[in-house]
Structure formats: structure tokens, C-alpha cells
Structure 1
Amino acid sequence: MRAVFGSDVGRQRSHNEDSVNVFYKNNQLLGVVADGMGGHAAGEVASGMALKFAEEKWNQLEEPLTEDAAVTWLNHLVRTVNVHLYDYSEANDDCRGMGTTFAAALCSEDFIVITTVGDSRVYSWLQGSEARQITEDHTLVNELVKSGQISRADAESHPEKHVLMRALGTEPTIALDTFTRDWSDCSHLILCSDGLTNKLSSLQMRAIMESEGPLEEKTEKMIQAANEAGGEDNISLIIISHDSDGETR
């Protein structure tokens, strides 16, 4: 297993409110993408705090996690980060109302545990296949799609596309979407903020994943493609490879 990540401010924002990193320990890794929101620099504060807290908790682990233990650990992490951010925003007027999305994948050679809050996504990819979104957006538009009020196609251009129904730090409690899977039907995971997915289709992501070159180059290509398509938002992603041979095919 290995992973690379990248983040870019985009072409229209003055600063980057995304935070992204990958942490390794005990032959396991944790990848996190957080897309902050809030007035002034509050979004940057929220995503940065979430990432820093995840790193601190990860570094406290002494032994590899079993699959069940990984689920418990990741759920506890999300709940703790949520309370930490909420309490901070309540105590600091300049950060009142701040929040962040949170997409995390805890990976071992045998299993994957994934959790998301908000509209940062996780995709799976296997050579010869499209990149498949395996997480659910916690957005108003997605709720409208699920209830049949609008179509999936209409959702792409809906004026309230960016309205989140769930984010870390905005409420004292948080609903969790955590699930497990294995590597049987994918060789790579892609974690990303909406600055990427609002600009690249799954077919475009597939084309880049199937292109020649190492993971670092593919990460750069995705960021470049999102910027060339407008780059209105910050762009962040992680590519996690379970099958290193898939990097250059």
C-alpha cells in the first residue's frame, strides 16, 4: 500500500480551506480530506483542526487495528472531532458557525474502513472500470434526488448544490456513515473534495487513472484538469494504491 496526495487553491479563491494528509503506522494508513467552511479564515481553521486532531489520535495507536477495532476507532474519532470543533466555534466569535467536511479511509492490507461527513467523497477504482463513488453526499440536493423530487442530471446544475445537510462542528452531535469493505473489487481509492468532483466526471477520473505514470503524476493531472475546467474551488485529493502495479498500467 502507498498513497499520494495533493491540494491546490484553485483559480478563483484567495486561500485554501482544504486540509489533506496521509498518516502511516503499523503497516496501516489513514487518509483524510477535510474541506472547511465558514466566514473569513474559519473554514481553514476547522479543516486544519480536524486534520491535526486525527493525526494526534493516530499517533497514539500502539498496535495495528483489527477491522472491528478500526470501525470503533474511526467512529470515536469523528464524534470527538465534531465536539472539539463545535466547542471551539462556540467559544470563539470569529469562528462561530465554522465547520468542515471529512472523508477518511483507514486501510490495511486486508480491509478498508471508510467514513464521510458532508460532500467530500471516496471513489474506488479498478483497471478497466470507471471510478465509482462509494460514499453518499450529505447535501440538500442529494436528499431531493433520493426523494424523487429532482433527477440526478438536474442535481448537477441545481442552484443549491453546495448546501450541506451535515458537517463536522456545526452541531453538538453528528450522524455517522461508516462502513467496511475489502480490496476484492478495487485496487485504488480516491478521496477528494468537491473542488475536484464538481469539475471531473467519473469517466475523466478513469482516463487519468489509466494513463501512464506514477501516482504523483496522476494526482497532478487531476488537479490540473479541475483547474482547466474553471477551478472555482479549492481542489484536494488522495490516491491510495493497494496494487502498486496499477500505477503505470
Structure 2
Amino acid sequence: MEGRFMTDTGKVRHHNEDAGGVFRNDSSQVLVLIADGMGGHQAGDVASQMTADSMQEKWRHVCVNSPAESEKWLGSVLKEINQDVFAYSLENEECRGMGTTIVTAVCSEEFITIGHVGDSRCYLYADGKLNQITEDHSLVNELVRSGEISKEDAKYHPRKNVVLKALGTEKLVKPDIQSIYWKKGDKLLLCSDGLTDKIDDDEMETYFMEFESIDALGKKLIDTANDRGGEDNISLVIMHHQQVEAGDSTC
């Protein structure tokens, strides 16, 4: 598996509140994540970096061999980190109200286990099609699901960036956890809303078809979002399922 984390501050904001990475544990298994610090909240960058650092540390000595093991670990860890971020915000007045979205995935050769809270997304590109795997925890997505507005209306809704759930804003959180299977040639995309607010799924799919290199693909996605205003930080992880490497094994 080959993976890249890419992030850009954008054209408007002065600092980057996103964090993320591609992390291998002691068994050469891969964890990827994107955390988008809450815009408009104090210390969003603190929340996102705390989350990324904690996920990386907790992953270091873990080994999972099945979707069930992976789902159990991921759900437990996200709840632990939520409590840590929430407690930190209470103990440090300058961080009151901070929070972060998160989308994260455990990637094995056979399966991917995805966990998310908020509106950062996960997509799978397989057989020439790009499919959104996660469901946004956002106001506009709830309005779409209830039939009050259309998907097209959601793109331009004045409150499209209002999230209904985030990591660290409340004492308890229930992340969405699921596992899917993938195969050689497939690509996984994790991204913040700085990307998906500027590029719709159909257009992203054409870029996945056009660019084989994940470096070129990531650059094209970020450049396009910036060309269209870049009002938000833009972050993504792309994983490419290639042939099994010598270091990729069960534990």
C-alpha cells in the first residue's frame, strides 16, 4: 500500500487548523486520518493536532487481524480521545469550546475499517467509480435525509458548514464505525470539507480516472480547491492498494 497525506492552508486563512497523516505501527499495518479543527472555535488547531498525535501514539503498538478487532479498537480509541480533548478544553480556558472533526481508517490488504465524527469524509475509488462511504454529521445532511432540501440545495445552503457532532465538544460521543473490503488497484480518499465544498463527487471521480499517481492526484485536487477560492484549509489522504509488500503482514 502506498499513501500520502497532503494539506494546504488555502488562500484566505492565516493558519492551518487541519492535522492528519499516514502512520504504520510496529506490525507495518497502516492507519490514516484527517482531523479538521473546528472553524470559529478557539484552539481548533490544538484539538486536531492533539487528536492526530494521540491516534498515532495509540496505534503504534496495536495489531488487528479482522474487521471485528479493528472496529472494536477504533471505536474505543475515538471515545477515549474525545474525553481527553474535552477534559483539556475544560482545564485550559483559552481552549474552551474547541473541537475537531475526524475521519480515520485502518487499512489492511483485505479490508478497511473507517471511523468518523463530523463532516470530514471517506471515499473509495473502485472499478472506475468514486463512492462516498461516510455520512456527514451535519445540519444540511440531515435536511437532505429528511427530504427538506435537495442535494443540490445543500451545496449552497447558508449553514452548510454547521456540524451536529464533533470530537471533544461534549463528554461522550458515538462515532460511526464500519468496515468495507477493497482490492488491488482501488484508492481510498479521506478529506476535509475544504476540499468537498469546492469539488463535487462527479468531478473528483474524473480526476481519479485521469491521474494514476497519487501525488499528482492530490496536487490536482488541492490546486482546484484553491483556484475556486480556497477559503478553508484543504487536507487529504490518498491510499493506493498495490501489490502486497514484504512488510505488510498479519501479526
Which TM bucket (shorter chain)?
Answer: over 0.9
Q: Distance in 1 between matches of 2:138 and 2:54?
A: 25
CA distance in 2, matches of 1:206, 1:34: 23
Letter of the structure 2 residue corresponding to residue 151 of structure 1? S
Q: Deviations over 1:53-84 (max 9, x none)?
A: 001101122x4443211111100111011000
- Pairing 1:70-81 to 2, within 5 Å after superposition: 70-81=70-81
**Contact map agreement 2:184 2:242 (CA 8 A) in 1:** no
Question: Residue in 1 aligned with 2:237?
Answer: 238
Residue number in structure 2 paired with 1:117: 117
For residues 144-181 of structure 1, the C-alpha deviation after alignment (integer angstroms, 9 at most, x for no partner) is 11111111111111111111100000000001210011
| Equivalent residues of 1:22, 1:32 under 8 A apart | yes
> What is the aligned length?
242
Q: Which residue of 1 aligns with 2:31?
A: 30
- Is residue 54 of structure 1 aligned with residue 55 of structure 2? yes
Describe how 1:121-132 pairs up with structure 2 within 5 A. 121-129=121-129, 131-132=130-131
Q: Which residue of 1 aligns with 2:176?
A: 177
Label 1:221 to 1:38 Cα distance change in 2 as closer, same or farther (>3 A): closer
| Kept in 2: contact 1:142–1:155 (CA 8 A) | yes
- Post-superposition shift, 1:27? 3.5
**What corresponds to 2:2 in structure 1?**
2
In structure 2, C-alpha distance between the alignment counterparts of 1:93 and 1:186, rounded to whole Å: 48
Q: In 1, Cα distance between the equivalents of 2:18 and 2:51?
A: 11
What residue in structure 2 maps to residue 89 of structure 1? 89
> Quick one: distance in 2 between partners of 1:213 and 1:67?
28
1:104 and 2:77 are equivalent in the alignment: no
Provide the aligned C-alpha RMSD in A: 1.6
The aligned amino acid for 1:172 is K
Unaligned runs of 5+ in 2: 244-251
Taking the aligned partners of 1:165 and 1:124, their CA distance within structure 2 comes to 24
When the two structures are superposed, what TM-score results if normalisation uses the length of structure 1? 0.93
Unaligned runs of 5+ in 1: 245-249
**Quick one: structure 1 residues 140 and 185, their matched pair in 2 at CA, closer, same or farther if it must change by over 3 Å?**
farther
Give distance in 1, aligned partners of 2:185 and 2:131: 10
Supply the distance in 2 between the matched residues of 1:17 and 1:156 (Cα, whole angstroms): 23
Structure 1 residues 99 and 40 mapped into 2: Cα distance closer, same or farther (>3 Å)? closer
SS of the residue 1:169 aligns to: coil
Letter in 2 for 1:192: C
Cα shift at 1:213: 4.8
Deviation of the 1:128 alpha carbon: 2.4
Q: Deviations over 1:24-50 (max 9, x none)?
A: 132421001000015576000000000
Distance 1:156 1:76 in 2: 33
- Paired with 1:121 and 1:98, the residues of 2 have a C-alpha distance of 20
Partner of 1:147: 146
